[in-house]
Amino acid sequence: MWNVEYAGDTSAGLRPSGIWGPVDGIISIPHEARFRALPATSPMTEDDIQDVIDAYARSAGRARALGFDGIAIHGAHGYLIDSFLWRHTNRREDRWGGDARGRAAFGAAVIRAVRQAVGEEVPIALRLSQFKMQDYTARIADTADELGALLAPLAEAGVDVFDGSQRFFDSPLFAGSTLNLAGWCRRLTGRLAMTVGGVGFGKSRGLARHIDDSQAVDNNLPVLVERFGRGEFDLVGVGRALLNDPEWLLKARAGVPFKPFDPANLHRLT
């Protein structure tokens, strides 16, 4: 999770075009962290890009050697792969930028290198999101066609599971369809998809004041199960509900009421 120290590091990080994000985006990080991050840096060079791709592959190879069963790669929330996907931060005119396919080229190169390092049998998941820590209203794709063009090279490169990160799983991604990000990833690529976001919570209850508060119902488990049953997604991620109540899954199965939500539980270690 982002915090002051972490957000401070973003000012030193590599960026596709030296741009961190907009000056006025809706953010969850402290304002001073944004102001440290905002000054432009040098765009990544071809050597920088190759170094980072190699580093991903090395790390994945080590994870495999240590016995991990799968590799999950973060391509969401404004991190590096996402900064290539996002038009705002990727202004490159070389093979790593431009149209949707070009903006996906870095992510695809990372996935290809990781696939080569871990072999065909190890599943690779890729987390994607519209929203960014630099701006919760940001989008990598405004239409299903644009999303499809971003996803195609990533799927071809070897992604097995698209992890569609949303604040609320029941927020539709595009007008005219109830499908969420995971649902669109599944439909557009035929790969497995995981949804996440607000599972087990009612209307956001001030949990995420800085963002879209569009969760429609107070108990969203029936909606989740119905959408799962329709084949919209294959896996479901649960975060805060489990941190709040470690018996959450057992209770969800048995239809037993959950512990009332207390934000302090998110910060408790035991």
Ligand X SMILES: Cc1cc2nc3c(=O)[nH]c(=O)nc-3n(C[C@H](O)[C@H](O)[C@H](O)COP(=O)(O)O)c2cc1C
The Cβ of residue 138 has, within 10 Å, a number of other Cβ atoms equal to 22
Q: Which residues have CB under 8 Å from 176's CB, separation 6+? A: none
Query: Which of 117, 140, 196, 252 is in the footprint of ligand X by CB under 6 A?
Result: 196
Given the complex with ligand X, which of 74 and 203 has the nearer CB atom?
Answer: 74
Q: What are phi and psi of 11, to 5 degrees?
A: -70, -25
- Does residue 240 touch ligand X according to CB under 6 A? yes
Contacts of 6 (CB under 8 A, 6+ apart): none
- Kindly indicate which of the ranges 35-43, 142-150, 220-228, 237-245 contains the residues binding ligand X, using the contact rule CB under 6 A: 237-245
Q: Which residue, judged by CB position, is nearest to ligand X in the bound state?
A: 239
Q: DSSP code of 259? A: P
The Cα–Cα gap between 243 and 120 comes to 34
- Binding of residue 264 to ligand X (CB under 6 A): no
**241 sits near ligand X (criterion: CB under 6 A):** yes
The H or E element containing residue 165 is strand 161-165
Binding segment for ligand X (CB under 6 A), chosen from 9-17, 51-59, 69-77, 130-138, is 69-77
Of 16, 81, 198, 261, the residue at the interface with ligand X (CB under 6 A) is 198
Residue 134 gets which letter from DSSP?
Answer: T
- Does 239 interact with ligand X (rule: CB under 6 A)? yes
Q: Which is nearer to ligand X, 43 or 83 (CB)?
A: 83
Query: Do 201 and 240 contact (CB within 8 A), yes or no?
Result: yes
Binding of ligand X by 77 (CB under 6 A): yes
Q: 53's torsion region: left (phi>0), alpha (psi -120 to 50) or beta? A: alpha
Q: Residue 266 and residue 55: Cα distance in Å, rounded?
A: 32
- Cα–Cα dist 189/37, whole Å: 35
Binding to ligand X by residue 199, rule CB under 6 A? yes
* Interacting positions 43-62 with ligand X (CB under 6 A): none
Residue 64 or 240 with smaller CB distance to ligand X = 240
- Our CB check for ligand X shows the closer of 21 and 198 to be 198
Q: Name the minimum Å distance from CB 240 to ligand X.
A: 3
**List of residues contacting ligand X (CB under 6 A):** 1, 74, 76-77, 127, 165, 196-199, 238-241, 266
